[in-house]
Amino acid sequence: MRRITTIEFDGAGKRAIDNAKGRVVVTIVVFSLCFGVISARLIDLGLLSGMAQASTQGPADGGRTARADIIDRNGVLLATDLRTVSAYAKPSAIRHPEIAAARLASVLPGLSAADLEKKLRSSSSFVWVERKLTPAEHAAVIRLGIPGVDFRTEIERVYPHGNLAAHLIGYTNVDGVGKGGTERYFDARLKKDGAGGKPLQLAMDVRVQHVLRHEIQMAMEDFRALGGTGLIVDVNTGEIVAMASLPDFNPNEPGALIKKPAYMNRASHAVYEMGSTYKAFTMAMALEHNIADLEDGYDATNPIRVARFTINDDHPKARWLSMPEIFMYSSNIGSAKMALEAGGDLQQDFLRSLGQLDKPEVQLHEVGAPMTPTVWRDINTMTIAFGHGVAVSGLQLAAGFAAITNGGIKRPLTVLRADPAFPPGGTRVVSEATSRKMQALLRLVVEKGTGRKADAKGYLVGGKTGTAEKSGVGGYRRKALLSSFISVFPVTDPRYVVWVLMDEPKGNASTYGFSSGGWTAAPVVKRVIERAAPLLGVMPSDDETHPLVPAMLPLIQPELRS
């Protein structure tokens, strides 16, 4: 066995070892102190300066709360958050403001070197150099390596489709607060769900929205209209599949929202006297309450004179008109006599049941309240029968029209996609028999009446024209028209209501100078249906008439039977 020998030092050797141990201890202490100083400095530069910055500029991401995405009914992204980089400077740390400003301006297009120099010479502790840098701009500023210039991440709300559905989706301000449309109405919910949370799914179909907006935009240009608007509504669920209002705006540039006409949602916020589209409600009221039936009629030989008012027909037949003829010819005289026989009380009750006299409930803040007479006199009853004397929004008109054509059930409108497992409830407002007759009358208008230009072949469109004079100082302005068309298709088994209104269209060569709803709005509806129906899963049919239409033909004068 090997013996292990322990060597012990004494004297000079022991002293040498003790000195070496002392040096090692001193070295360790020195290194520890240096490390501590460096760590403290790093904390000061990082954590403390970051806290100081936060105290003057708010929390990270520019103080904005992350918001959940918004998607359409098919999952297409409509609004989302993106993280962007912005450059800022601490003026006190900039040694040569003039040189720094010139160098920054050289890599940031559109930045004024003179304006930036003023910022860098200010007494502020924090100034923005440029917001929302592109990746290339970010890299270029980094390469400059200017002391006192740094970056911070911000959240930016982005709308991939721009103007397409600006009024429906809405926008957020610089602080990330919803300021319009669904962004405003669901502001708290979108913030609560935050980034990565469950998206807000709308009923809108982005493809159908494009069709509606594009056709209205083209018509505005063709007829030099001041504006245009439209809706597509599912009559069985109340879902708003498309909503367009022109002129519109780009929600990616909220700072540009200075033009009130572009900000106004003409489909939900504006209210209009709807003209002859309202005759559909008058006819439904008369049929539902047995005021008259299809075989009955009214004398439209002479205008109606009440005090200083005179009610005329635009295209007078100057004879007795059957109920189908009153609707097909759009007779003001016949409609007024029909409503007067029903009475103002019944008219008010019926219109209220259709949601025409109360502000509609829908998930938007931009919803207009109807304008109704303070005192409902006989003259009001007669003029309201053909759409003058009461002003409603497009939402109200579409909801009421859906109710009288879908079998008689009024359902609330919604901007959110409905859950197929939980069909929406509703309230019966007319019988199935009355609704069936209205379907046939609406088809008659498109087959043989004022709505022929809305006849999209294969889709059995039924509808009603509307032309109303805009009110002004001293009365109505005869040449300032609100021209519209409201429709339902397919009329034998209604699926969707389509409404289009043009604000002050001007007739052109293709309309022979006419600017009424049948000439300007009806063709828009036709093109919308032709393009949108396949996207909505509505297949064309070979059947071109409603079964009740042939039964009504004997009630019409011979010139229109064929």
Question: Residue 276 phi/psi, 5° resolution?
Answer: -70, -10
In whole angstroms, give the CA distance from residue 154 to residue 57.
12
Q: Which two tokens stand for residue 441?
A: 């009358």
Residue 561, helix vs strand vs coil: coil
- Residue 332 Cα distances to 299, 387, 401, 503, angstroms: 11, 9, 19, 22
Active site residue 125: no
Q: Which of 39, 122, 125, 276 is catalytic?
A: 276
What is the sign, positive or negative, of the torsion defined by CA atoms of 258, 259, 263, 264? positive
In whole angstroms, give the CA distance from residue 203 to residue 201.
7
Nearest to 334 by CA among 286, 377, 288, 394: 286
In whole angstroms, give the CA distance from residue 292 to residue 536.
37
Q: What is the 3-state secondary structure (H, E, C) of 382-437?
A: HHHHCCCCCEECHHHHHHHHHHHHCCCEECCCECECCCCCCCCCCEECCCHHHHHH
- Mutual angle of helices 279-288 and 432-448, in 10-degree steps: 140
Strand pairing class (297-299; 320-322) = antiparallel
Write the DSSP symbol of residue 255: G
Residue 364, helix vs strand vs coil: coil
The separation between the first and the last C-alpha atoms of the chain, rounded to the nearest angstrom, is: 130
- Residues with a known catalytic role: 276
